[in-house]
Chain A
Amino acid sequence: DQQVKQNSPSLSVQEGRISILNCDYTNSMFDYFLWYKKYPAEGPTFLISISSIKDKNEDGRFTVFLNKSAKHLSLHIVPSQPGDSAVYFCAASGWDSNYQLIWGAGTKLIIKP
């Protein structure tokens, strides 16, 4: 029973365009959502997060949107750059997971020159 789902295993985007990565969750008790980025042969690195009391959080080229009614969040990257090519993981936490992160399977983003 996957509580956090990333339904697109991969996504290809032209350099300079917008990349939109999606994540769905089933547990309405999650109150914190995060995106991590992972390059090959490296550990994940924290990218951006959002609390369930907000619907948007922005940090430079990265914006995360949260739609609680749809149990959906998305990560927008504008403009996309070659260095953005990586695997992106969505993760969520809440009191009923003892605030341990529940992870999606990841989406591999490929930025084409």
Chain B
Amino acid sequence: NAGVTQTPKFRVLKTGQSMTLLCAQDMNHEYMYWYRQDPGMGLRLIHYSVGEGTTAKGEVPDGYNVSRLKKQNFLLGLESAAPSQTSVYFCASSPDRSTGELFFGEGSRLTVL
């Protein structure tokens, strides 16, 4: 029962490097989300998708790009990493948006030096 799987779990980058975080869900959910969590703050939505081939901006989209080429996968890209993007990133999925019940991955800790 995998649920939502994020890779990698940890990554250290230098400023200016690029990377991609992968999120995979096996629950056939339509909606997928990328959040970041910083100390003393709640989760903030970066981008989300309401179905295969769709993406939309969330609260803090700058510096990130996403793609949803397959229903089960949602990729988060950083083209030129900055220290301000040091954070814990969570992917989530949901069957719809009506109840707000999201299923989260375990998180990916990213450090940008």
Q: Decide: A4 near B101, CB < 8 A? Known: A41-B107, A44-B90, A100-B58.
A: no
Identify 17 new A-B residue pairs, CB closer than 8 A, beyond the known A34-B101, A44-B104, A103-B43.
A9-B40, A42-B106, A43-B106, A44-B43, A44-B102, A45-B104, A46-B102, A49-B99, A89-B42, A91-B42, A91-B100, A99-B97, A100-B48, A101-B43, A104-B42, A105-B40, A105-B41
Q: Is B4 an interface residue (CB 8 A)?
A: yes
Q: How far is the CA of A105 from the CA of B104 in the complex (A)?
A: 17
Q: Decide: A105 near B101, CB < 8 A? Known: A41-B106, A43-B92, A43-B107.
A: no
Q: How far is the CA of A6 from the CA of B41 in the complex (A)?
A: 10
> A residues engaging B (CB < 8 A)?
4, 6, 9, 32, 34, 41-46, 49, 89, 91, 93, 99-106
Residues in A neighbouring B48, C-beta threshold 8 A: 100
Residues in A neighbouring B106, C-beta threshold 8 A: 41-43
Residues in A neighbouring B4, C-beta threshold 8 A: 43
Closest 4 CB pairs of A and B: A43-B104, A103-B42, A99-B97, A103-B43
Q: Decide: A34 near B100, CB < 8 A? Known: A41-B107, A43-B107, A100-B48.
A: yes
